[in-house]
Structure 1
């Protein structure tokens, strides 16, 4: 998960989170909201970044908190809670459309993980010819034909 209950408390206060917990009888209410937020985020970024992420950037943790908080306000979210949720989803949509990046760092090297492959494409661009690979012409000539 991208956030914890402690992260929610740190961002929004212990009083607010406890008031939201009092309104329901489900003891896993907060964890469920955080899990829902994680799954919603993964649905947006999973097409661009390999999951699970090697390191959670702070902006993703903030968005997870905003989304989970919105889920906790299941009856009447305030305008501020709704706006933060909508802003988080708008950013995640830009990430999914390759118009924004998450800036994920590898923990051991602090290198930014690029979601674009740095190796050659798996197919040759249009207008190029095949220059060999697994099977050359000599190998193909030795194979039985299907006549």
Structure 2
């Protein structure tokens, strides 16, 4: 289920803008095109939220509606004969940036996490193995006889 729908887009951006971006040929709005943009925007958000929250979300915060609305609006601006304004592009970039912040735990949706927080790493994990002296000839023998350690 999309986080944003046609009614939310009309409320945020106006019915006139939607008629221009997704015309149905009869001075109305093509609901299929709008629904696809809304679903695509929600799928994009889910890609960022999946590692942090259990999906699908039971409750959709207003912040997520705003972010997916900006992405859906941008998607509706794409196509032949359309020009994406700087404002629309900037809003989409800001929405993706916020989703990245949520994914990285620099921002929050105030929802229960789907998993325990990852422990803070102090540095890269290093795999330690027992050291053995080897010469190039012993490496080749190990390969021949199946001893790769």
Q: Tell me if TM exceeds 0.5.
A: yes
Task: Select which of 61, 66, 72 maps to 1:57.
Answer: 61
After TM superposition, the structure 1 = structure 2 runs for residues 96-107 of structure 1, keeping only pairs within 5 Å, are 96-104=103-111
Indicate the SS of the match to 2:54: coil
Task: Select which of 69, 75, 87 maps to 1:71.
Answer: 75
Moved over 6 A (4+): 23-26
Cα distance in 2 between the residues matched to 1:23 and 1:68: 17
The alignment yields a C-alpha RMSD, in angstroms, of 2.1
Deviation at 1:117, TM superposition (A): 3.0
Indicate the SS of the match to 1:94: helix
TM-score norm. by structure 2 comes to 0.68
* Aligned residue in 2 for 1:4: 5
TM-score norm. by structure 1 comes to 0.69
State the aligned residue count: 110
Larger Rg over CA atoms: 2
* Aligned residue in 2 for 1:129: none
Matched, 1:28 2:32: yes
Kindly tell me: are residues 17 and 26 of structure 1, through their superposed partners in 2, closer, same or farther at Cα, counting changes over 3 Å? closer
Kindly tell me: are residues 94 and 40 of structure 1, through their superposed partners in 2, closer, same or farther at Cα, counting changes over 3 Å? same
